[in-house]
Chain A
Amino acid sequence: MLIKKPTDIHPSEITDKGIYLQRRRIIKVAVGLPLAALGSGLLNEVLAVKSPGEKLPNVKKGPFSTEEKPNAYSDITTYNNFYEFGTDKKSPAKKAGQMKTDPWTVTVEGECAKPGKFPLEDILKPHPLEERVYRFRCVEAWSMVVPWVGFPLADLIKRFEPTSKAKYVQFQTLFDPEQMPGQRRAVLEWPYVEGLRMDEAMNPLTLMVVGLYGEVLPNQNGAPLRLIVPWKYGFKSIKSIVSIKFTENQPISSWMKAGPSEYGFYSNVNPEVDHPRWSQKKERRLGDSFFAKKRKTRMFNGYAEQVAHLYKGMDLKKYF
């Protein structure tokens, strides 16, 4: 049986859409200019409003990108675990569109010298954007290759000057059952909480993501601001972040609460340590041909060179 898959959309086809949206932006600017001329300063606002799918300006190629072929845009945006919008993989693409990502406020708190509530624009402003093509490995034993756009989390963290007590960083997703229908049921403890050890957060691989395929991140992928930690299972890469907190004690994530024996704080991709209910030795790469065998999962998802030193001397069976 031959099943044709929609995965072979070439990046060139997607850029077409970018150009189309760029045109739309030109129209916006064209509309904005006369308004600015009226002295209302509206132009800036018009330019600041970026909707999902809109082309991101000045994105340069970043380090650590894989040469592997990225998954199609449609794979990445229609197959999502984002329980805030329902527990099946199609729901986020259907329901996340209504979420308002502008205005968006991020609260920075805890053990740092410069806490505060910041509009998203202020969070993003100083950081040049770069594209990084990373492998993405879900705990459910499937994987993708994704061209993210973002900037190193380390650069963001430094701005808030964490104190010597800041041993961990805790993140929280937006809690708003009105906009996130999945939160009306206690499938997980809301809001979604994740965390990293400080050295993990400062690792150059760790990314704050705002875009995908050179465009503004679609809501179902965690707009407007999400984390990407490519050597950990996907659920660590928390979406739609509204809070960053520096803590002395190890945060307890939503999944740790849901299943302490199944989901640990570290959750590093590790073919040697099985999830109690399924094997982690192999993974299905989405987009591979229908009859292709699963691929062997690599230690730290293939990023051992960059991160293995973080866990030197640790028993990874115990600290799973």
Chain B
Amino acid sequence: MPDRNWIMQWIIKPLVFVVCLIPLIWLIYDGFADKLSPNPIEDITHRTGDWTLRFLLITLALTPLRYISGRTEFIKLRRMVGLYTFFYVCLHFTTYLWLDQGFDLDEIIVDVVKRPYVTVGFTGFILLIPLAMTSTNAMMKRLGRNWKKLHQLVYVIGAFGVLHYLWLVKADVREPIIYAVILLILLGYREWIRRRTSNI
């Protein structure tokens, strides 16, 4: 009978790894099967952006899930899902840089400086880089207590991600509001736990 660690290592993790690739495979399939809209670059931008936000929220949901279920396995998936967030934001950013802007640096700089939704989105992306770079065991060990502090940046990044979406839509704010509410619940839950434990 294989033990829990074995199942985690050889079944669950590989499974989650593959599942996280589905949005990309789906997008590529739609591209080749002519299922994207007449503005495929917009589709790719939106879909990679959507999945970045979704993976970010899933990453943030794993700690609360651990508390609620009492199962530590959720924490063991956090790094992988977090890195997938970074993977999808890289696709999103590359789409913007290359397919959308055609590497027109002047335009990109104007965008980042002048347009608040690009400013927060870009900042969120930049802030994710050190988190991805320090995700290895060796870096965790080296940074010690500072690692946790550094990785609390993800809360700010989450807020930037949601603002990026909220500020770019023209009139229909339903979807960004849903993301905002989920983010608030996830952060609120942490705050609630923190207060409860510090009261004891």
Contact = CB atoms under 8 A, between A and B. Distances in A.
Contacts of B34: 3-6
B28 to A, nearest CB: 8
A250 interface: no
Contacts of A278: 111, 115
B69 interface: no
Contact of B37 (A87, A89, A259): A89
Contacts of A293: 102, 104
B39 A142 contact: yes
A70 to B, nearest CB: 13
B168 A277 contact: yes
Interface residues of A, number: 36
Contacts of A281: 107
A277 B39 contact: no
A142 B41 CA distance: 11
B39 A286 contact: yes
Interface string B149-174: 00000000000000000011011100
B115 A277 contact: yes
Contact of B171 (A5, A90, A188, A286): A188
Contacts of B171: 83, 87, 187-188, 258-259
Q: Is the interface of B mostly helix, strand, loop or mixed?
A: helix
Contact of A291 (B99, B104, B115): B99
A252 B115 CA distance: 26
B115 A287 contact: no
A284 interface: yes
Contacts of B102: 293-294
A276 B36 CA distance: 28
Nearest to B169: A87
B88 interface: no
B14 interface: no
B38 A79 contact: yes
A279 interface: yes
A198 B31 CA distance: 46
Contacts of B111: 278-279
Interface string B1-43: 0000000000000000000000000000001101011111110
Nearest to B110: A279
A55 B102 CA distance: 41
A259 B37 CA distance: 27
A20 interface: no
Given A7-B38, A277-B117, A279-B111, 9 more contacts: A3-B36, A5-B34, A79-B38, A140-B170, A187-B171, A278-B111, A284-B42, A293-B104, A294-B101
Interface of A: 1, 3-7, 71-72, 74-75, 78-79, 83, 87, 89-90, 140, 142, 187-188, 258-259, 274, 276-279, 281-282, 284, 286-287, 290-291, 293-294
14 contacts: A75-B38, A78-B37, A79-B37, A83-B172, A142-B39, A142-B42, A258-B171, A274-B114, A277-B115, A277-B117, A279-B110, A281-B107, A290-B41, A293-B104
